[in-house]
Structure 1
Amino acid sequence: MSPHHTPKSALPPLLGRGPKGVFRRTLPHEQPTGARMVRTLGLTQLTMIGIGAIIGAGIFSLAAAVARDVAGPAVLISFLVAGAASLCAAFAYAEFAGMVPKAGSSYTYCAAVLGEIVGWIVGWDLLLEYTAIVAVVAIGMSGYLGFLLEAVGIHLPAWALGAPGTGSGHRIDLLAVAICLGVAWLLTRGTRTSARVETVLTIVKIAIVLLVIVVGFTKVDSGNLQPFAPFGLGGAFTGAATVFFAVFGYDALSTAAEESLEARRKLPKAMMLSLAVSMVLYVLVCVVLTGMQHYSEINPKSGISSAFQSVGLNGLANVIAVGAVIGIVTVTFSFMMGASRLWYALSRDGLMPAWFGAIHPKRKVPHRATWLIGGVSAVLAGVLPINAVAELTNIGVLLAFVVVSASVLLLRYKKPHLKRGFRCPGMPVVPVLGIIFSVWLMSFLQWETWVRLGCWLVVGLVIYAAYGYRHTRQVMPGGSVDLDTLDELSESDEAEPTPVP
């Protein structure tokens, strides 16, 4: 064979990387000025969005439910295991965010490295997971809102107190529905306005969590921590799989890349800062929660407030309930923002109709996607119990973590020279650990959760075959991009905007 002869690929065109191949690598085109989002988010706001996404239902609701039903005081181990797995994946996300400052998070990353079909599967998967997470945290918030309303003598009718099957006479979680729709309204006001509200609420939330820790430690009874693992270590690990969604807010944060100032440099920093602060607070609150009240007596809906009430601190219990409401609003904000930006990216690239990703001409946000996600999450929050929705979110996010960790590992060795605003340490050990941790945690989830994920992915493949495959080739014609073009992304993506007087 001549040294200049290149053998033809044995793969058919549909399975290749050419213009017709489903594995062609894609990067989003530059959008016209009127169709772009506006870069307004600095490091502080990005970090607050990350903390806002991480600290919320995990501390205020899910920790209590897991401690009572699955792990006991070993819920502390649940959060540590979930945090360790999340950190490995966070390093991978941070490296990608430092290379591809574009909306879409793991969808965009995977499409650039592993091909269009892999990117679509991950994006379609996360669209459901983000929306379901909004529903989970809204359900958690409704428990604390109910606690506050009862404290002032307001009692909602039984039919409005929860999803069917969660209590006598329950038909719909009316407060959770209202929360989802209210956050959608806030997000459609514009990125600058909503991010300012998010920053203020996150600061208030952190202050209340610190109050819980400082006062709570004075009321800890070491006897309540015995037995430490009443359900065994298996219970703690099952708890880790359940609470995992509470420690990966940086994923939603990475979808805001096109609204970030100096995204390559600041997004990775914000991811690391938000995860570090949140994990310290999670661990301390777990000790307080299970130390103040025996795990078997913890209220799964308003755990921390009920724990303070059990030791005679009724006034603080009400303050904490207010903090829980504020805290969970910020989580709902971050993930609904992430879901709408992901939908925008999928529509921009032709995988879904452009109508969904339209940018509001004045407020520069994907308003249609935001309202649709608000509506769907309101339905989920109104009619499904929290545990079922939490497991559904976790399996999809863990799947995305596996793919992103594998992608960053592959890209580091195939294209080591690419410009990176952050480099994942400990290669190749850290990404491999991220993959192993994620698969391991997935193994603890119920088989019904796997079936639901499988059904959703089948629906996604049908949509891709019927619509996305053809339309993405009209929006982004041509074959695979050269990954070296990552270095050629417009410098305007990094530039500070001209100050507005």
Structure 2
Amino acid sequence: MVEEVSLKREVGWFGSFSLGYADVGANIFIALGLIALYAAGVTPIVFLMTAFIYISIGLVYAELAPTYPYAGGVQVYAMKGFNDLLGFIAGWALILAYTICISLFALAAAGYFSYFLPQSTSFLTLMGLPPLGFISVIFIATLILINYIGIKYSVEVSIGLVILGLIIQGFVLIPGFFLVFDLSKLLEQLQILGSPKIQNEVAYIAGASINTQNLLYSLTLAIASFVGIESIAQAAEETKRPAKHIPKATKLSIIAVLISVMGFSILSMGSVGWEKISEELEYSVAGLVKTYPIIGGFGAKLVALAGFILCYASSNTGVIGVSRLVASMSRYKLLPRWFYKIHPRFKTPTRTIILFGLIGLLLASFGNIPFVAELYIFGGLVSYLILMLAFIKLRNSREEVYRPWRVPGEISLKISGRILSMPIIGVIGFIGVACLLILTLIFHANGRILGTLWLTVGILIYI
């Protein structure tokens, strides 16, 4: 009998934080201009509303990940709280989100990279791929190699990228409030509730207000700015002292992301306004910094560098997340056991790294950001909905389990003679995620059709 090789604990608390921040912190570089395009002047409020849902998701992971420190995250929690089928659905939805994460953020990184090399466009187009697609293929191939030889090296890459990205963000965000921010401009912008412009991507309902529908659509996009905190949970089995490090890393990630997202959204509305910021979708944050007096030109280049760095780090966490998730599902026999192949030397799930890395590479090669973004949102929301249900269920069905950290605040309800614990954060998170999922199904045609098809295929595979 061949001894089964297991994953190795090599991730410290800052490495864990870097995984969480890298996967979420990069989102603002894609989302700022996009949200402004639909939400108009109330962009900061839209970000704030979805931030409450993000906080609830992060806190739930901060409790569950150290309690059940295994690769798989929500898939494991759903299995322990309910059954294998719900665990499979949660994992299958998250596989979609992680695979899309690889391609989406590699494309975003390629976009910021091309900011420095605009003259390369014609050459890359001649090679048969869109410029962004070609660059992202090279980026993802490099990530596959780094992840193959060990999570230690992969996390070290993320740590280095995140530190540099945070320094640059602080350098450009703080001066902005002194150089260009105008409170009266912000208050004026906050009175504009949704863009009046019709957009091709929205599946509008006839007769309803365009402004209102664009505003609702922006909420579904804004939550994409916060998808990714679960990357910390995916690496739980490889995290040193998970009971201490995971809650700490998760809470720090929440704080850092909120400062970045709210800071840039408030600054943009209090300086250039929603119409200007939405005109430069690919480089919205760089476009904002370009307006700074004296340092604008240099600052814009720094932002483009930070955007490249953090988006590339986010793509890396996608490779880490999907490879660990699929390996976990195969270990629990939810997927073929073939996927659970841990390299005897590198201690990494090499088959899943190669296979799903290549799928992400293929999706990125087409260079279509809006298409992959819709699937990213759908997969994330389905997994978060199951996460909240599993959290509430585990609080009541496995009360005896030791929890290194516990989300505060709960209400006791007496139902059929039994006292049930209803964690307030879990209830708020469930309601919020459910509302966003409904809005996604209404307004995102690609997410509704292809996302539902993905789940259907998965259930058929399971059955």
Q: TM-score range by the shorter chain?
A: 0.7 to 0.9
Instruction: Return the alpha-carbon distance in structure 2 between the equivalents of residues 107 and 173 of structure 1.
Output: 31
What is the TM-score normalised by the length of structure 1?
0.79
**1:279 corresponds to which letter in structure 2?**
L
Report how many residues are paired. 425
Partner of 1:220: 181
Match of residue 347 from structure 1:
330
The residue type equivalent to 1:180 in the other structure is I
1:437 maps to 2:424 = no
Q: Deviations over 1:336-366 (max 9, x none)?
A: 2011100111122222223323112211111
Change in Cα spacing, 1:424 to 1:362, as seen in structure 2 (3 Å) is same
For residue 307 of structure 1, report the CA deviation from its aligned partner: 2.5
- TM (norm. structure 2) is 0.86
5+ unaligned residues in a row in structure 2: which ranges?
A: 195-210, 411-421
Deviations 1:407-457 (A, max 9, x none): 121221223222111212222222111110001111222244122121111
- Identify the match of residue 68 of structure 2 among 100, 117, 120: 100
Query: Are 2:101 and 1:133 equivalent residues in the alignment?
Result: yes
Q: By how many angstroms is 1:160 displaced?
A: 7.2
Structure 1 match to 2:125? 159
CA contact 1:91–1:425 (8 Å) conserved in 2: no
| 72-81 vs 130-139, greater mean Cα deviation | 72-81
**Corresponding residue SS for 1:444:** helix
Q: Does 202-211 or 375-384 show the bigger shift?
A: 375-384
In structure 1, C-alpha distance between the alignment counterparts of 2:161 and 2:97, rounded to whole Å: 24
Is the contact between residue 374 and residue 446 of structure 2 (CA under 8 Å) also seen in structure 1?
no
Matches of residues 69-468 of structure 1 in structure 2 within 5 Å? 69-150=37-118, 153-157=119-123, 159=125, 173-217=133-177, 218-221=179-182, 225=186, 226-228=188-190, 229-231=192-194, 235-298=214-277, 299-311=280-292, 313-383=296-366, 385-427=368-410, 428=422, 429-445=424-440, 446-465=444-463
Partner SS for 1:249: coil
- Residues 160/365 of structure 1: CA separation in 2 closer, same or farther (3 Å cut): farther
What letter corresponds to residue 456 of structure 1 in structure 2?
W
Alpha-carbon offset, residue 171 of structure 1? 8.0
Q: Does the 8 A contact of 2:221 with 2:377 survive in 1?
A: yes
- Counterparts of 1:290 and 1:249 in 2: how far apart (Å)? 26
- Whichever of the two has the greater Rg, that structure is 1
Query: Aligned partner of 1:293: which letter?
Result: V
Q: Deviations over 1:188-209 (max 9, x none)?
A: 2211122122111111100111
Question: Corresponding residue for 1:12?
Answer: none
**Gap change, CA 1:252 and 1:214, over 3 Å in 2:** same
Q: What percentage of residue pairs aligned between the two structures are identical?
A: 24
3-state DSSP of counterpart to 1:41: coil
1:34-45 map, 5 Å: 35-45=5-15
The Cα shift of 1:291 comes to 3.5
Unaligned runs of 5+ in 1: 1-30, 164-169, 466-501
Between stretches 358-367 and 439-448, larger displacement belongs to 439-448
Alignment RMSD (CA, Å): 2.4
In 2, distance between residues paired with 1:430 and 1:276?
A: 17
Tell me, yes or no, if the aligned pair for 1:292 and 1:308 is still in contact at 8 Å: no
Bigger Cα displacement from structure 2, 384-393 vs 360-369? 384-393
| Change in CA separation of 1:161 and 1:400 when aligned onto 2, cut-off 3 Å | farther
- Mean Cα deviation higher: 382-391 or 422-431: 382-391
User: Closer, same or farther in 2 for the Cα pair 1:409/1:338, shift >3 Å?
Assistant: same
Confirm or deny: 8 A CA contact 2:110 2:132 kept in the other structure.
Answer: no
Residues 189 and 273 in structure 2, CA contact (< 8 A), matched pair in contact too: no
In structure 1, the residue corresponding to 2:117 is in which secondary structure?
Answer: helix
Q: Are 1:160 and 1:172, in contact at CA under 8 Å, matched by a contact in 2?
A: no
**Distance in 1 of aligned mates of 2:185 and 2:126:** 34
- TM-aligned CA distance change 1:98 to 1:308, over 3 Å: closer
Query: CA–CA distance in 1 between the matches of 2:128 and 2:318?
Result: 22
Indicate conservation of the 8 Å contact 1:160/1:171, yes or no: no
The code of the aligned residue for 1:66 comes to: I
Over 3 Å counting, the alpha-carbon distance change for 1:162 and 1:236 in structure 2 is: farther
Residue pair 1:106, 1:123 contacting (<8 A) in 2 also:
yes
| 1:134 aligned counterpart, secondary structure | helix
Corresponding residue for residue 418 of structure 2: none
Query: 1:322: how far off?
Result: 1.2
Q: What is the CA distance between 1:144 and its match in structure 2?
A: 0.9
Q: Structure 1 stretch 266-275 or stretch 111-120: which is displaced more? A: 266-275
Runs (4 or more) in structure 1 with deviation over 6 Å come to 160-163
Q: CA deviation at 1:260?
A: 0.8
Q: Is the 8 A contact 1:77 1:236 kept in 2?
A: no
Residue identity matched to 1:308? V
Partners of 2:128 and 2:438 in 1: how far apart? Answer: 29
Q: What is the CA–CA distance in structure 2 between the aligned matches of 1:259 and 1:373, rounded to whole Å? A: 20
